[in-house]
Structures are given as C-alpha cells and as structure tokens.
Amino acid sequence: MIKTLVKSLREFKSASIASLLLIVGEVFFEVLIPSNTADLVNGIKAGEPMAEVVKTGIMLLFMAMASLTCGGLAAFASAKASAGFARNLRRDIFTRVQGFSFENIDKFSTASLVTRMTTDVTNVQMAFMMIIRIAIRAPLMFVFAITMAYIMGGSLATTFVIVVPVLIFGLLMIARKAMPAFRAVFNKYDKLNESIEENVRAMRVVKGFTREEYEKQKFAAASQDICADFTKAERIVALNGPLMQMCVYFNMVFILALGSKLIISSGGTTIDVGQISAMLTYGMQILMSLMMISMIYVMITMSAESAKRIYQVLTEESSLHNPENAVTQVTDGSIDFEGVSFKYSKKAKRSALENIDLHIASGMTVGILGGTGSSKSTLVQLIPRLYDATEGVVKVGGRDVRDYDLDTLRNAVAVVLQKNLLFSGTIKENLRWGNEEATDEEIKEACRLAQADEFVSSFPEGYDTWIEQGGTNVSGGQKQRLCIARALLKKPKILILDDSTSAVDTHTDALIRAGFRAYIPETTKIIIAQRIASVQDADLIIVMENGCISDMGDHETLMERSEIYRETYHQQNKGGEENE
C-alpha cells in the first residue's frame, strides 16, 4: 500500500528528502543549545571574563539562528511536498476513476468516491507532512536529548527511567482506545456526503413535498453521529494533556530536588546550576518528543484507514479491458445480440437480460418499448460496452464489441439519456463535447435538427449563454434537446435515445425524428420510449418484458400479435378515439 501511494510523490521526492535533511540539522542545533546555555550560566556564576561570556552567547545565537533557519526551510519543503503529494494523489484517483467501468463504479458509491478524494486525501496529506517533519524530528530529538541528558546530568537522568515508560504506556493506551472511534467515522462520512448529494439533486422534489424539515433532521442525525464519534475520540485523546503535565512536573520536582541536594552536598563539584537548567530543558524535549510521537501515532493510525480506502481505488482493476491488437475502426452501425444474458453482479440470483437474440441492420430505426424494469436501458448499455455480457456475444459492425478499442467503439456510439447532464460552461462548450472541432454553423444546424435553435437564439447571449452545473438554469425539455444536438454533432454510427424525448411534446418529438432521417440516414437509430407515437414509424419495434424480448416487428405486425403492444397502444390513444 505504501509503495502504491508513494508513487504519487513523483516530482516532489526532492522536496521530501530536503525536508528530512533540514530537520536533522534543526534537531542537531536545538539539542546543543541547552548544553551551551549550561556553560554560559556556569561561566557567569564562576566570574569568567566578559569576552568568554560574549563568545558563548554568540555561539548560542548562531545555533539558535541555524536551528530556526533549518526549521523554517524544512517547514517550507514539507508543505510543498505534502501539498504536491495530495494534488498528485487526487489526480491519480480521478484518472483511475475515469477508467472504471460502470461495474467498478457500482462497487463504490459516488459519495464514497468523493469522500476518498477529499477527506481521505486530506488525512493522508496531513499524515505525510507529519511523517516527513515530526515523525523524523521527534525520535531524533528523543535519542539526542536522552544522550545529552546522561552526558550532562549523570545520575539525574535516572528520572527518565521512571517517567518515560509511564508516559509511553499511558500514550499507547490512549491511542489504542481512541482508534476504534476514529475508524468508525469514515463510513459515516460516506453516508453524510450521500445524504447531501441526494438532497441537492432532489431539491425540487424536497421543496415540492415541503420535506425540508425532514431532510434537515436526517442531515442533523448523520452529522450528530459523526460528532459523537469524534467527541468520544477527542475526549480520550485529551487525556494526553494531563498525563503529559504530570510527567513534566514529576520530572521538574525530581531534578530540582535531587539536583539541589547534589549541589549542596558536593559544593558544586559534581553538578552545578547550569547542568540543572540543561536537564530541565532536555527533560522537556524528551517528554514533548514522546507527546509528539503519540500524536503522530494517532494521526497515522487514523489516516491508515484513509490510505486503505485510497489504495482500494488506485488498485481497483477495471472490469473492461482493451484487447491486444484491438480493432480501431467501426465499419458500420449493424448490431447483433447472439444468445446474450447479463447480470449486474455475479452474486445476483436472476439475470437482468436473458437469451437475447437480435439483429439490426446498419441505418435502421429501431424502437424499444417495455414497462419499468423490463431492462430496456440495460440492453442498450451493452452496445457501447458500458457493461460486458455475462453470456453470449454482442457485435457491432460484425465484430464482437470486446475486440474493439474502447475509445473507438464509444466514439462510434452516441447515447442520449433520459436524465441528461450538462456541464457548467457555455452552450457552445457543452455542444462541442460531441465534436471539439465543430464550427458555429455545424452547431446551429445540429440545434435546428434537435429543435433547440429557437430557444437558444431567444437567450440574450445566444450560444454563449452560461449553463449552470447540471443545467439547472434550463428546463428539462431544453436540456434534452441540447443533449440530442450534442449527440448529432458526433455523427455516430449508432445513436441511442434512452427515453430522451420524454420532456418534449409529441409535435417536437416528430420534428426531431424527421431531422434524424434527413441528417443521419446511415446511422442506426435506437429509440427507447414510453410513447408508441415516438416509435410507431420505426423499421423495427422491440417489446421487452422481464429482461426478455416478448415480441418484435413493425407497428402493424405487433398490433396483430402482441397483446402488450396492442394494450399499450389503446391505452395511449383512448382519449383520441373517444373524441373521434
């Protein structure tokens, strides 16, 4: 796991190494300061000439400045390294997610992926900065200070034999008790983010049913749950302070009491005031080092959960792979399903699709009808290889879709969803997702065919109108027509409309389909619809039920032999027939 995460350091390795070296220098000079301070105190007490006192003072000043310079540069280097590491880590996670199949994304929730790229990366970033700074500084300070304490204080250093084990044991127990509470927080973060995401996306529904108070209570409950876990953990970690103070004061009392006795009994020959001063400083350095080590232990243990979650994403292998010697050209828009069955999960008890045999010639217009849950969308998602068939073969242009380069295949297939997505940016920028090189005239032509030009031209800024994130400043019907225009600019071999005209009226729907016939006659067009009027003139109409093809044929054929189709037709045209 560590090897995988460290790969994201890349260009910031040198800053990390520089930080480590500078910290060694900072600790070295800082540990020498108490020893020289002792010499200065003893020299003043002994009545040394002022020249010697000044010389020692200048040496102290040099050490302090050197330690400060090393510390400042180390802080700069570690900040640069940790921030750069976090940036690369987020980029690597995002890049990895872009290569995921829908199956991989289903494995992680959207909210969980957002948490991993934000909260988890921040935790790892903080842990990394602490590792390259404090995790090096604290052990070095501990070792150097203990060594200097024994050199300077002799028998006085016995205090550390008592204090250090007590402090180590206490800090380990505190960290051990706090860890389970910290670990429990991360899954709750996922649920909290999921609640926020769901609420924001469904804001119109929430307001429509006046459920704001319910949503506030739900969010407050999730937030309180996290607060309770953090409070529990922080209460335990807060015991570090009293434990530390107890050890510090014990250390001070022991050194002052025993040191004073030694000075009086030996007349200052065994130990002097300067040594006691140095011992107090070294004692504080030793205990603070242990305190920092305990905090690092807590932080690293907490961030280890975040690191594992990031590692899971970085090592997740996409269930879809490009084959060797992949085909890089789609010859036509013909589609064949040969004995296809599909399950969303290997553990699923029933198949979403079962025994699908279907042959669509290039350039055909095909309609797909069926009730909710009949797997209409699942069927078309196998064409651009968003999922792989569990059994059987799906072919495009006479070749198994698994033989194609993924980018080649998906560039040949345009999908317009019912829940269309527009990105923040101008209308032009959104439409050029279909074709980056599209001219302004090509954009307008696609919008005319999608019946979008009229309302776009009515905007004060026209095609330079800014679209808010998710397209919240345009209506559902306008959003659908813009997405259809975006797909037309792609000039695909296969165009799939997944109930993507549900928000437009029947007249506009008919004009859009007429535009398809004129603009992309050689493109295979698959239209999933709830309205029979949207597919009535299709070359082939497929009726689906429970993941199987119930029947197929043209309108007249299905009216004769498909009870499902006939009933749907009569229900949708009942009002018109009564008026006649």
Residue 153: per-residue pLDDT: 63
What are the Cα distances from residue 68, in Å, to 96, 128, 313, 333, 451? 41, 22, 40, 70, 69
DSSP state, 317? P
> β-pairing, 494-498 with 413-416?
parallel
Q: What is the pLDDT of residues 552-565, one digit of tens each?
A: 999 999 998 888 88
Residue 339: per-residue pLDDT: 92
Residue 207: per-residue pLDDT: 76
Q: How confident is the model at residue 575 (pLDDT cuts 50, 70, 90)?
A: low
Average of per-residue pLDDT across 365-376? 87
Q: Which of 81, 178, 173 is nearest to 131 (CA)?
A: 81
Distance CA(22)–CA(17), nearest Å, equals: 9
pLDDT > 90 in the chain, percent: 17
Q: How confident is the model at residue 155 (pLDDT cuts 50, 70, 90)?
A: low
Residue 437 has pLDDT above 90, yes or no: no
Phi-psi category of residue 32: left, alpha or beta, with phi > 0 → left and psi -120 to 50 → alpha: alpha
Residue 296: per-residue pLDDT: 76
Q: Is residue 333 within 8 Å of residue 524, measured between CB atoms? A: yes
Q: How confident is the model at residue 579 (pLDDT cuts 50, 70, 90)?
A: very low
Q: What is the pLDDT of residues 213-222, one digit of tens each?
A: 888 888 888 7
Residue 576: per-residue pLDDT: 46
Residue with the larger pLDDT of the pair 572 and 420:
572
Residue 341 has pLDDT above 90, yes or no: yes
Residue 472: per-residue pLDDT: 75
Q: What is the pLDDT of residues 14-50, one digit of tens each?
A: 999 998 899 888 888 888 777 777 767 767 766 777 7
Q: How many CB atoms lie within 10 A of CB 484?
A: 27
Per DSSP, the three-state class of 542 is: strand
Residue 482 has pLDDT above 80, yes or no: yes
What residues pair up with 360 in beta bridges, in sequence order? 335
Residue 394: per-residue pLDDT: 94
Residue 237 has pLDDT above 90, yes or no: no
Residue 222: per-residue pLDDT: 79
Residue 267: per-residue pLDDT: 62
pTM, rounded to two decimals: 0.66
Residues whose CB falls within 8 Å of the CB of residue 208, separated by 6 or more in sequence, listed in order: none
Q: Which of 364, 414, 331 is nearest to 521 (CA)?
A: 364
Residue 359 has pLDDT above 90, yes or no: yes
Q: Which of 264-268, 370-374, 505-509, 539-543 is predicted with the least confidence, judged by mean pLDDT?
A: 264-268
Q: Which of 462, 473, 489, 485 is nearest to 424 (CA)?
A: 473
DSSP state, 404? B
Residue 543: per-residue pLDDT: 92
Average of per-residue pLDDT across 574-580? 48
Residue 393 has pLDDT above 90, yes or no: yes
Distance CA(481)–CA(225), nearest Å, equals: 43
Residue 88 has pLDDT above 90, yes or no: yes
Residue 578 has pLDDT above 60, yes or no: no
Q: Which of 53-62, 85-94, 260-269 is predicted with the least confidence, judged by mean pLDDT?
A: 260-269
Contacts 24+ apart (CB under 8 A), 199-208: 201/470
Q: Which of 10-24, 40-54, 465-479 is predicted with the least confidence, judged by mean pLDDT?
A: 40-54
Q: How confident is the model at residue 266 (pLDDT cuts 50, 70, 90)?
A: low
Distance CA(528)–CA(525), nearest Å, equals: 10
Average of per-residue pLDDT across 367-396? 89
Task: Supply the DSSP string of 184-249, one letter for each residue.
Answer: HHHHHHHHHHHHHHHHHHTHHHHHHTT-HHHHHHHHHHHHHHHHHHHHHHHHHHTTHHHHHHHHHH
Q: How many CB atoms lie within 10 A of CB 241?
A: 10
The overall average pLDDT reported for the chain is 82
Q: How confident is the model at residue 529 (pLDDT cuts 50, 70, 90)?
A: confident
Tokens for 109?
């929730």
Distance CA(149)–CA(565), nearest Å, equals: 91
Average of per-residue pLDDT across 71-91? 91
What are the Cα distances from residue 128, in Å, to 9, 33, 115, 558? 11, 29, 18, 66
- What is the end-to-end Cα distance of the chain in Å, rounded? 72
Tokens for 97?
């997610």
What residues pair up with 353 in beta bridges, in sequence order? 342
Q: Is residue 263 within 8 Å of residue 276, measured between CB atoms? A: yes
Residue 357: per-residue pLDDT: 93
Instruction: Please report, as a single letter, which amino acid is at residue 83.
Output: A
Contacts 24+ apart (CB under 8 A), 421-424: 421/470, 421/471, 421/483, 422/467, 422/470, 422/471, 422/474, 422/479, 422/482, 422/483, 423/467, 423/469, 424/466, 424/467, 424/468, 424/469
Q: How confident is the model at residue 156 (pLDDT cuts 50, 70, 90)?
A: low
C-alpha torsion 565→570→576→580, nearest 10: 130
368-395 as b/e: b if 16+ CB within 10 A: bbbeeebbbbbbbbbbbbbbebbebebb
Residue 577: per-residue pLDDT: 46
Q: What angle do CA 364, 366, 370 make, to 5 degrees?
A: 170
Average of per-residue pLDDT across 529-539? 86
Question: What strand order describes the sheet that includes 494-498?
Answer: 413-416, 494-498, 524-528, 365-370, 540-545, 548-553
Q: Is residue 263 within 8 Å of residue 155, measured between CB atoms? A: no
Residue 401: per-residue pLDDT: 92
Distance CA(136)–CA(93), nearest Å, equals: 28
Packing angle of the helix pair 506-519, 440-449 (nearest 10 deg): 130
pLDDT > 70 in the chain, percent: 91
Residue 86: per-residue pLDDT: 92
Residue 80: per-residue pLDDT: 92
